[in-house]
Amino acid sequence: MILSVNTVTKRFGGLVAVDAASLSVAPGSITGLIGPNGAGKTTLFAVIAGFERASNGRVVFDGHDITAEPAHLRARRGIARTFQIVQPFAGLSVVENIAVGAYLRHAGRDAAQEKAREVADLVGLSAMLGQPASALTVSGRKRLELARALATQPTLLLLDEVLAGLNPSEIRDMIPVIRQIRDGGVTILMVEHVMQAVMSLCEDIHVLAQGRIIAQGTPGEVAENTAVIEAYLGHGAARRLHAAGAAHA
Amino acid sequence: MNATRAYLPAVALLLLAGLIPVLVAANTVLNFIVFTLIIALAAQGWNLLGGFGGQFSFGHAAFFGTGAYATAILQARYGVNAWAGFAIGIALSAAVGWMIGYLSFRSGLRGSYFALVTLAFAEVFRILANASAFTGGAAGTLVRLDMRPENFQFASRAVFVWIALALVGFVLIMTIAIGRARFGAWLAAVRENEDAARALGVDVLGVKLKAITLSAGVTGAAGALYVQYYLYLDANIAYGAWISVEALIAPIIGGIGTPLGPVIGAVTLHGLGELTKLFAGRIPGIDLVIYGALLVAAIAFAPDGIMGLLRKAQRRKDADKATDQNVTEGTL
Amino acid sequence: MFAPDIILAAVLNGLMTGSVYALIALGLTLVYGVLHIINFAHGATLTAAMFAVYVAHTVFRLDPYLALVIVTPLFFGLGYGLQRFVIGPASHGEDRNILLVTLGLSILIENAMLAMFRSDTRSIDVPYAFSSIDLGFTFLALPRVLAFGVALLVALLLGLLLTRTDTGKAIRAVAKEKTGAALAGIDVAHIYAVTFGLGAACVAIAACLLMPTFYVTPRAGNAFVLVAFTIVVLGGMGSIPGALIGALFIGVVESLCGLFFGESLGQIGIFLIFILVLLVKPTGLFGARA
Ligand SMILES: Nc1ncnc2c1ncn2[C@@H]1O[C@H](COP(=O)(O)OP(=O)(O)O)[C@@H](O)[C@H]1O
Ligand SMILES: [Mg+2]
């Protein structure tokens, strides 16, 4: 396992955002983390990437216990994250934004810029290299978020709703990009609400609801899981759904 | 932009400025140039932290004063060679910068809070220097007049102009280099968005500490230069709010976060200051009234300073040229 | 060391100085609470108000306490106009710009005072300057006792204004959530300006209370405002009760430090408290808002 999250709890004052959650990610996989809004997915990402300190539990990456490590060191180890609410360097150009990520593995200007261009090409930002990041559209900003993270040449990439806010055709364009990144050797853990994308991309899915992992399995297994359907649609929904399915059949 | 094009304007400007003492011998002019260059140097220091790193200090006097006092006291009290004193002064102000940075950045102070805490540190230093016998108290400290090069004192003001120019030029080139290097990219990242920077592996605290240390060293060099030129220092000169303000306004007027900005800003401010004195006579404070008004006006109308205005004009010219070409091509 | 009555007298004197600090700090904390920025022009505004009181007295023979009735609304208007027509438009809605614009204004105002009045120390003569109240173990200067009373009264009125009036409610709404307030139909730019005006009015009152016993120079306001910054940070940025308690506390600390260590080092004590609080607990000791 490239990443193991062992019974991690995160409290904000009285609120338990993540409640003894455990999950593991196999190297080379695209693993999904889904769950209703407010389930604690972003918080769990923040704990994995080192932006929030776990109140309890451990995070192990590549055999190292990184629970207490600051975020920038985790990035050096190979964990990269995107932000659900995009965080561009608004005053910098697109290529400068991506180069900041590239500088993590390339000390020289030319090498970093070249890496930045290469990544921009991959995510489809080559036409906007010189533009200020603040001039990008929503979809452009999402791509930039992805590009910057990729430029750090991570081994584990945490994607937090990179498809949210995109229109269907943009989503269709992005899905192969994500697959291509994985095929390039990057393990991906993604939070996503766009089910069609999750179902087609992920081999393994973990479901978080109210801070707890309530299910885990292949897309097919998870879709059938009663607890999961209830978490999304409310108590009793699974029964009604099955009843409706039976009636149709 | 390739490397030659990045450094060329700066080098050309420096060489041109180096000619001034050859052409002009008037003491008042040379005095003006040295003073303006000292301010420019202090402002270059501020710009490294404030312009490139986005951390606005209102207390760069703490570094200017430390550089100045260290240089003066080492000579006056301990008989240390002036050049060595100068170097130690720079090192000490850098150390003070690191210390203030460590205390405030580690506590997560940003924005107004960082501005306030730097202001407070400078004030503490001022009051201490004013009260302590070690710094000569309110009477101040004198460096013994002995015009010899080994004492960092020169009979000819032209030599001083060149030394000041060399320092400003060195920092200018260093700043351009930083802007083109990994450290510059990290500084910009920290300025724009700390969380995003951390996610990309940037050691935010480390980058800020490096920046404030460097910044303080440069502004400390300005203080050390000041004392070698005027050979006198008191707490209000060394740690007074005036230098914190000068170091901050010059880059903002000239172009914040650009290598040339602080220099252009310092020249503009002091040029205007002299002009006002010429027209309005020696009314105390009148130049600062103008500085204050300029600061407000710059933020309102030219947030990227003079450099920003120049760039805009250049772009407009380029655009005009392009349309002209299109028109001619179209007609042909 | 010192006899108890000397210490008690120092404490009482500290409380009275503290009450004037409170007025200055109230203005600062109010503006911070609503606009979330530090008004660096606050000190220069105080200086300007002190000169206004000085001019009212020397030119128009107006007693400082009477001048209060004129100077306070005048400064309210000035503060309002400054925010509405200068600071607001010039800063394009960016906090960092507000910081710099208020700094620019402070440099401008302070040096305009210097150009007009030179750096001489100026004070006014009032017949009651040396009147005092005999407490048996010590004498308290009458103007300072008056200042104490008026400062507390103003703080009380300000509190009432914020809690009981529509304007006050609008101010608090903007402080909490400005987008929401704007959606609810509150004119945010107007409320910002009113808040600024109130801050300037507080300082104007402080100037009237200070002038009978104090002097004015073009830099006089700065010393007070640095203390006020300390108080505001100590009391929790934006907290009105925090500013009040913090001010009285600092007044007493300063007075006692002055007694034990001498004047200039007493000031150091304040700055060290300031730096320590900023570094250790920037949300303030009296833990108002997070
Ligand atoms: N910094 C924070 N402080 C307090 N509460 C927070 C913080 N971050 C998230 N929360 C709360 O934790 C819960 C989980 O939020 P989040 O992780 O964003 O959920 P998700 O990403 O699954 O939608 C929510 O109730 C949210 O309000
Ligand atoms: Mg989320």
What CATH number is given to the structural domain containing A70? 3.40.50.300
Integer Rg of chain A from CA: 19
For C247-264, b/e burial (b = at least 16 CB within 10 A) is bbbbbbbbbbbbbeeeee
Same domain, A60 and A93: no
**End of a domain among A118, A152, A186?**
A152
Closest listed ligand to the CA of A83: 2
Co-location of A73 and A158 in the same domain: yes
Same domain, A5 and A71: yes
Please enumerate in sequence order all residues whose Cβ is within 8 A of that of A28, keeping only pairs 6 or more positions apart, or say none. A182, A185, A187
Domain identity same for A67 and A181? yes
Distance of CA A216 to the CA centre of its chain: 17
Pairing of strands A56-61, A156-160: unpaired
From CA C189, how far away is CA C181, in angstroms rounded? 11
Q: Is residue A83 part of a domain?
A: no
Residues belonging to chain B: 332
pLDDT value, residue C105:
95
Mean pLDDT of chain C: 88
Secondary structure (3-state) at A214: strand
DSSP tag of C277: H
| Domain match, A23 and A109 both | no
Q: Of ligand 1's atoms, which has the minimum distance to the CA of residue A160?
A: 21
pLDDT at B287: 87
A72 and A160 both lie in a single domain: yes
Q: Which of A3, A17, B296, B227 is nearest to C109 (CA)?
A: B296
Distance from the first to the final alpha carbon of chain A: 41
Distance from CA of B274 to the nearest CA of C (A): 16
Is A83 within 8 Å of B195 (Cβ atoms)? yes
Do A108 and A199 belong together in one domain? no
ipTM value > 0.85 = yes
pLDDT of residue A181: 95
Say if the Cβ atoms of B120 and C278 lie within 8 Å. yes
Asked if the structure places residue A236 within a domain, the reply is no
- How confident is the model at residue B137, as a pLDDT? 87
H-helix or E-strand spanning residue C168: helix C166-176
Chain centre distance of CA C28: 6
Q: By the CB < 8 Å criterion, does C160 face chain B?
A: no
Domain, as residue range, for A119: 88-152
Query: What's the mean pLDDT in A184-195?
Result: 93
The answer as to whether A175 is a domain residue is: yes
| Burial state string for B233-262 with b = 16 or more CB within 10 A and e = fewer than 16 | bbbbbbbbbebbbbbbbbbbbbbbbbbbbb
Which pair of structure tokens corresponds to residue C73? 């609304």
DSSP letter (8 states) at residue C85: I
| CA atoms of C239 and C30, how far apart (whole Å) | 8
Q: How far is CA A68 from the centre of its chain?
A: 21
> B109–C278: do the CB atoms touch at under 8 Å?
yes
**Which residues fall within 8 angstroms of residue B313, CB to CB, at 6 or more apart?**
none
Most B-contacting residue of C86, C107, C110, C227 (CB-CB within 10 A), to test interface: C107
Give the Å distances, CA to CA, from B318 to A7, B258, B315: 61, 21, 5
- What confidence tier does C288 reach under pLDDT thresholds 50, 70, 90? very low
Task: Pick the last residue of a domain from A124, A152, A180.
Answer: A152
Pick the residue from chain B with its C-alpha nearest to A103.
B182
pLDDT tens, residue by residue, C74-133: 999 999 999 999 999 999 988 889 989 999 999 999 999 999 998 899 999 888 888 888
Which burial class, exposed, middle or buried, applies to C156 when counting CB atoms under 10 A from its CB (0-12, 13-18, 19+)?
A: exposed
pLDDT of residue B328: 44
Residue A116 lies in a domain: yes
Same domain, A94 and A205: no
Closest Cα to atom 4 of ligand 1? A12
What pLDDT score was predicted for residue A15? 93
pLDDT at residue C63 above 60?
yes
| Residue A171 counted as domain residue | yes
pLDDT class of B327 with cuts at 50, 70, 90: very low
Q: Does any ligand 1 atom lie closer than 6 A to the CB of residue A37? A: yes
> Based on the domain organization, do A108 and A143 belong to the same domain?
yes
| pLDDT reported for residue B330 | 39
Please tell me the least confidently modeled range out of A221-235, B140-154, B274-288, C103-117. A221-235
Residue B96 has pLDDT above 80, yes or no: yes
Tens-digit pLDDT profile for residues A64-79:
999 999 999 999 999 9
**Is A224 within a domain?**
no
Predicted pLDDT of residue B323: 62
Residue A185 lies in a domain: yes
Q: How far is the CA of A39 from the centre of ligand 2 (A)?
A: 8
- For range B44-62, the mean pLDDT: 97
pLDDT band at B332 (very low <50, low <70, confident <90, very high): very low
- pLDDT, one tens digit per residue, over B232-269 is 999 999 999 999 999 999 999 999 999 999 999 999 99
Measured between beta carbons, the chain B residues lying within 8 angstroms of C268 are 124, 127-128
- What does pLDDT average to over chain B? 92
Query: Does ligand 1 come within 6 angstroms of the Cβ of A95?
Result: no
Domain count, chain A: 2
Statement to judge: residues A94 and A66 lie in one domain: no
- Of B293, B108, B64, B124, nearest in space to C226 by CA: B124
A124 and A195 together in one domain = no
Give chain A's largest Cα–Cα span: 66
**Which residues, listed in sequence order, are joined to residue A132 by a DSSP beta bridge?**
A93
Q: Considering the domain boundaries, does residue A10 fall inside one?
A: yes
Instruction: Using the CB atoms, write b or e for B71-94: b if 16+ within 10 Å.
Output: bbbbbbeeebebeebbbbbbebbb
* Confidence check: pLDDT of C282 > 80: no
Chain A residues whose CB is inside 8 A of the B201 CB are 72, 75-76, 101, 104, 152
User: pLDDT at residue C138 above 90?
Assistant: no
Between the CA of residue C288 and those of C239, C245, C282, what are the distances in Å? 6, 12, 11
A36 Cα nearest atom in ligand 1: 22
Residue of B nearest to C118 (CA): B284
pTM, two decimal places: 0.91
Given the DSSP bridges, would you call strands A56-61 and A3-12 parallel, antiparallel or unpaired?
A: antiparallel
The predicted model gives C265-271 an average pLDDT of 74
More reliable by pLDDT, B199 or B110: B199
Sequence letter at residue C18: G
CA of residue A34 to ligand 2 center, whole Å: 10
Q: At what angle do helices C188-210 and C42-58 cross, to 10 degrees?
A: 50
User: Running DSSP on this structure, what letter comes out for residue A70?
Assistant: -
Q: What is the mean pLDDT of residues C241-263?
A: 86
User: Looking at the structure, do residues A55 and A158 belong to the same domain, yes or no?
Assistant: yes
Backbone angles phi, psi at C145, to 5 degrees: -65, -40
Chain A nearest C-alpha distance from B204 (Å): 8
